[in-house]
Amino acid sequence: MSNIYDFTVKDRKGNGVSLGDYKGKVLLIVNTATGCGFTPHYEPLEAMYKELKDKGFEILDFPCNQFANQAPGSDDEIQQFCTVKFGTEFPRFAKIDVNGETADPLFAYLATEKPFEGFGKGLKNAALNKFAASNNKKYGDKAYIKWNFTKFLIDREGNVISRFEPTVDMEEVKAAVIEALA
């Protein structure tokens, strides 16, 4: 694969969607969960989407239940939760696996392009690192994504330019998106 546009993913109804449909846009691809401590990230994500979508920005949301079973609902239940509780309007795709033998090829590619470099410093980050390490043992060397709300920034040419762990401040994510849009 040469860039993100070579991938096809499934929408919430199971239909194939070519990421080539997003050519020329800046993308933020996120694995999410409805029952995670980072679920409130939906608020700044939606605010960023509303502010920047007319400038060529899209958020692509991929629910995942591989981290402590924090996204147990069906695709329709997850959609309803996100739209009712957070008012999200950005595209949400079918629930996927991001790690292991059943990992979606898109996320295996993303994680290979921008590998995990740590959650950062501080007690909260150290605790998350320990919990994530415990959760990911079952995936061995196929554990590329460490937790929910990992975000990948894609430039207008389809290249992965940044990775943001869930512990990164959303203002930092937004600043990087704005820079990529410039």
The residues carrying an active-site annotation are 36
CA distance 103 to 129: 21
- What is the chain written as a DSSP string? --SGGG-EEEBTTS-EEEGGGGTTSEEEEEEE-TTSTTGGGHHHHHHHHHHHGGGTEEEEEEEB-TTTT---S-HHHHHHHHHHHH---S-BB--B--SSTT--HHHHHHHHHS------SSHHHHHHHHHHHHHHGGGGGG----STT-EEEE-TTS-EEEEE-TTS-HHHHHHHHHHHH-
